[in-house]
Amino acid sequence: MRILVTGSKGLIGRAVVHRLEAGGGGVPVCEVIGFDIADGDDILDGEALTRAARGCDAIVHLAALLGRPGESRSEIMTVNVTGTWNVLVAAQAAGVGRVVNFSSVNALGIFSGNGVPDYLPIDDAHPARATTAYGISKRLGEEMCRCFTLASGIATICIRPPWVCDAAMMQAELARRAADTAAEWSPFWEYGAWIDVGDLAEAVAAALRCPDPGHVTALVVAADMASDSPARELARRLLPSVAWRGAEDAAALVRCEVAHEVLGWVPTTRWPGRKPNR
């Protein structure tokens, strides 16, 4: 397979490129075409994207602005929305079979302290009501993909990861919490949601090998919480007014049934020191 990966030199991009070039697990060894702003490749250049996509079987679209300080709302919307549109146009022009588009849990509007969920555990059916430029841009990208699939027949798989970390980032977070016991939920709580970058790369591989799903949007999170406390205990303490819809011994507060059932993906990395069913 020949795969175009936008944002190929970022944290996630590097892991995805490594996973695809390694092959295995039902995915052949892939020829990866990198497309990254670090090399002067801009997703706002639709012609360049179309040239890069020629001969490709699929596109993995990661390139985006993340809403960091110094990035204006207009810049975020232009890069993330127009860039995603350019990827879809390039996919159709090149006859690509499917697009794996990176969205975010921020499309829901209830992460990063921007809102409170309607219920816990959060699942794929939770209403999306993004309010920030970044969250709205990701939600618009999902809707663009849905409409694009209806119009073109090209499969689009939108992945919604939470906080993504590697081993070094995980250790830094553990040290931060050791120094401040409230760091887990201050200034805001992310429901313990996280994903190891290697597991996320495996989710991309699963999205490329699964039977054609048409269009699908899927939360992709670890099977446990980034916490030493039981999920139900934290929900009672931090969000006591939010309706509970899960089992009392739930291991996590964000579920990803669509990723399991449609993509056939199961995460394997656990939070250090966390006991099973806690």
pLDDT tops 70 at residue 237: yes
In a domain, 278, yes or no: no
Phi-psi region of 247 (alpha: psi -120 to 50; beta: other; left: phi over 0): beta
Residue 254: closest CA among 273, 227, 274? 227
pLDDT tops 90 at residue 166: yes
Query: Percent of the chain scored above 70 by pLDDT?
Result: 98
What pLDDT, on a 0 to 100 scale, did the predictor assign at position 278?
A: 47
What pLDDT, on a 0 to 100 scale, did the predictor assign at position 25?
A: 85
In a domain, 270, yes or no: no
**Of 123-137, 142-156, 170-184, 187-201, minimum mean pLDDT range:** 170-184
pLDDT tops 70 at residue 114: yes
What pLDDT, on a 0 to 100 scale, did the predictor assign at position 61?
A: 98
What pLDDT, on a 0 to 100 scale, did the predictor assign at position 86?
A: 98
Q: What domain range includes position 223?
A: 2-263
In a domain, 269, yes or no: no
Residue 115: closest CA among 124, 105, 102, 125? 105
What pLDDT, on a 0 to 100 scale, did the predictor assign at position 276?
A: 54
CA pair distance 216, 263, nearest whole angstrom:
10
**pTM of the entire predicted model:** 0.95
Nearby residues of 254 by Cβ (< 8 Å), 6 or more positions away: 105, 121, 122, 123, 162, 191, 192, 193, 219, 221
In a domain, 277, yes or no: no
Q: In what helix (H) or strand (E) does residue 107 lie, and over which residues does it extend?
A: none
In a domain, 159, yes or no: yes
Rounded to an integer, the average pLDDT of 28-40 is 96
Cβ distance 67 to 27 under 8 Å? no
**Residue 130: φ, ψ to 5°:** -60, 145
Rounded to an integer, the average pLDDT of 248-276 is 91
Nearby residues of 62 by Cβ (< 8 Å), 6 or more positions away: 5, 6, 7, 8, 10, 12, 13, 16, 102
Task: Give the domain CATH number at 210.
Answer: 3.40.50.720
Around Cβ 197, how many Cβ atoms within 10 Å?
23
**Of 68-82, 186-200, 262-276, minimum mean pLDDT range:** 262-276
CA pair distance 262, 134, nearest whole angstrom:
26
User: Bridge-partner residues for 101, per DSSP?
Assistant: 61, 158
Report in angstroms the alpha-carbon separations of 160 from 21, 157, 171, 210.
Answer: 23, 10, 23, 17
CA pair distance 69, 65, nearest whole angstrom:
11
CB-count burial class (<10 Å; 0-12, 13-18, 19+) for 153: exposed
Q: Which residue has the higher pLDDT, 12 or 26?
A: 12
What is the count of structural domains for the chain? 1
In a domain, 273, yes or no: no
Rounded to an integer, the average pLDDT of 257-264 is 98
In a domain, 192, yes or no: yes
